[in-house]
């Protein structure tokens, strides 16, 4: 005869196993599931209380609506890794007179000039607007983040301008505000094109200079000192650890990248039934 004790010993693991079907698992099935940005689990610092809350020290999360551009995070990082730079967002615009645009179009030169300038910006013109008797051609939608407009020029536009000079155009810097604006006059036979690199004003009351931190993950050692230094609760460190890249430039995270949330991405071979199971695991 089987004693009640033995029955209990047989049934209790089965009951426990069945019960856990309805519990949310602690482990995750990486890479089919990822960690999520749950603000309470981020590494953060309360400057008023002077208390740091323990949490995952992965990729930073920047709250643009709180960042005043004070640069305290940048200064905190200076003696650690020099991974932070305060950057501005720039716009690159070509301005062409309407009649001159038509003239250049007739001789088939306009498209080659536009191609020359859009090539460093993913090869696409982002907008083509008419303003009075001028066409305004924008090279970017999202701002181009850098700490100086001079560097934007050197990295993205200098070669295109030199190519135009080789084709017989003359280029002259007609307006220059260090770090803020560069305007070039490109001319040939009474035809004039304007190239403008200008700092974008985000119109934020709390950040009048429109400057934000960008982080170079090729240098960051994930110490969290920048988070501790932020007086405005604008910087935290979250659970995202997938930061490796084959390209050095991709390790430079702009303020927009730092402000984005983590999105779930499944490996391409994941089937719909697997995705459904993952969703069930996540939301139960």
Q: Give the residues lining the site for ligand SF4 (CB under 6 A).
A: 67-73, 76-77, 80-81, 83-84, 213, 215, 220-226, 229-230, 232, 234-235
Residue number with CB closer to ligand SF4 (113 or 220): 220
The DSSP 8-state label assigned to residue 267 in this structure reads: -
Smallest CA-to-CA distance from 149 within 206, 221, 198 is with 198
Residue number with CB closer to ligand SF4 (69 or 143): 69
DSSP-assigned letters across all residues of 176-205: EETTTEEEEEEEETTEEEEEEEEE----BT
Least separation in angstroms between CB 78 and ligand SF4: 9
Least separation in angstroms between CB 35 and ligand SF4: 18
Residue number with CB closer to ligand SF4 (202 or 225): 225
Least separation in angstroms between CB 74 and ligand SF4: 7
CB neighbours (10 Å) of residue 115? 12
- Residue 46 has phi, psi (to 5 degrees) of -105, 105
Residue number with CB closer to ligand SF4 (80 or 161): 80
Least separation in angstroms between CB 225 and ligand SF4: 4
Cα separations in angstroms, 25 against 14, 59, 148, 267: 17, 24, 48, 21
């Amino acid at each position: 005869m089987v004693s009640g004790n033995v029955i209990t010993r047989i049934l209790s693991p089965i009951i426990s196993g069945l019960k856990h079907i309805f519990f949310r698992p602690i482990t995750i099935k990486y890479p089919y599931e990822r960690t999520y940005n749950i603000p309470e689990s981020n590494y953060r610092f309360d400057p008023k209380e002077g208390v740091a809350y323990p949490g995952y020290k992965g990729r930073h999360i920047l709250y643009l609506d709180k960042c005043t551009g004070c640069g305290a995070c940048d200064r905190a990082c200076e003696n650690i890794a020099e991974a932070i730079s305060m950057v501005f967002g720039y716009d690159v615009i070509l301005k062409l007179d309407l009649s001159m645009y038509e003239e250049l179009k007739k001789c088939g030169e306009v498209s080659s000039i536009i191609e020359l300038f859009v090539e460093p910006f993913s090869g696409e013109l982002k907008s083509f607007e008419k303003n009075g008797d001028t066409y305004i051609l924008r090279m970017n939608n999202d701002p181009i983040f850098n700490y100086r407009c001079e560097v934007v020029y050197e990295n993205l536009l200098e070669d295109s301008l030199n190519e135009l000079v080789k084709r017989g155009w003359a280029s002259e810097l007609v307006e220059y505000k260090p770090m803020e604006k560069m305007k070039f006059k490109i001319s040939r036979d009474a035809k004039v094109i304007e190239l403008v690199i200008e700092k974008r004003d985000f119109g934020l009351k709390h950040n009048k200079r429109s400057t934000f931190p960008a982080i170079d993950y090729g240098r960051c050692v994930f110490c969290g000192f920048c988070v501790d230094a932020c007086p405005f609760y604008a910087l935290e460190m979250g659970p995202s650890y997938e930061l490796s890249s084959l390209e050095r430039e991709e390790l430079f995270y702009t303020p927009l990248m730092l402000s984005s949330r983590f999105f779930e991405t499944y490996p391409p071979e994941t089937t719909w039934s697997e995705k459904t199971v993952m969703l069930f695991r996540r939301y139960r």
